[in-house]
Chain A
Amino acid sequence: AQSVTQPDIHITVSEGASLELRCNYSYGATPYLFWYVQSPGQGLQLLLKYFSGDTLVQGIKGFEAEFKRSQSSFNLRKPSVHWSDAAEYFCAVGAPGYSTLTFGKGTMLLVSP
């Protein structure tokens, strides 16, 4: 069975600074990988996904993520954080051919002025 680890429960970043949120997965083959964002009181919104091909994936809102097979990682990055990016971010992994996703416990991003 697959699993996802998001090592950072909370991260605080200054507005305008760069951001990297870590995600490590456990799966025997190449998984499907996702990053979702959840704003307070809202459902989850998909930021980006990786199925195959180019390991650097571009998403919405200026986010990108890089799949590194050797490190079993799929870290989310943004070059310059805006106050509106404050939210909880979830990494998820799926097994090709199956429909369910396994989510990490999330990383809460706080943006300081």
Chain B
Amino acid sequence: GAGVSQSPSNKVTEKGKDVELRCDPISGHTALYWYRQRLGQGLEFLIYFQGNSAPDKSGLPSDRFSAERTGESVSTLTIQRTQQEDSAVYLCASSLKRGHETQYFGPGTRLLVL
């Protein structure tokens, strides 16, 4: 089947606007992860879902960031009142189950906040 898909692939927005980023995991994968990759940096963990619950939200940088997941399917990462420092590539990954099974990554959404 298809791999992890993310949309949009690119997003340009103005400071202060809200954005929604979408992730479609591999079918049957119960675990889903969001990461942020700033220019020249490694991946920064944001949030992890097991099914539709989020046992680990420790990486969300502020209350402007939130995420939800519908069942064991689509997840949406929402950034409210975007700031320029939110500009980054947002990567989503899924794995078959919790733990360190292989995480399969999507191509990412490149967000630019002007």
Note whether A and B form a binding pair. Answer: yes
Binding site for B on A (CB under 8 A): 4, 6, 32, 36, 41-46, 49, 51, 90, 92, 94, 96-106
Cβ of A100 and Cβ of B45 under 8 Å apart? yes
Residues of B within 8 Å of A102, CB to CB, are 45
- In the complex, whether B114 has a CB less than 8 A from a CB of chain A is no
Which chain B residues in 33-48 approach chain A with CB under 8 Å?
33, 35, 40-45, 48
Binding site for A on B (CB under 8 A): 4, 31, 33, 35, 40-45, 48, 50, 56, 58-59, 91, 93, 98-100, 102-108
Cβ of B103 and Cβ of A43 under 8 Å apart? no
The distance from the CB of B88 to the nearest CB of chain A, in whole angstroms, is 14
Cβ of B103 and Cβ of A46 under 8 Å apart? yes
Cβ of B4 and Cβ of A32 under 8 Å apart? no
Known: A43-B107, A99-B56, A100-B59. A106 touches B42 (CB 8 A): yes
A4-B41 Cα distance, complex, nearest whole Å? 12
A100-B55 Cα distance, complex, nearest whole Å? 11
The distance from the CB of A10 to the nearest CB of chain B, in whole angstroms, is 11
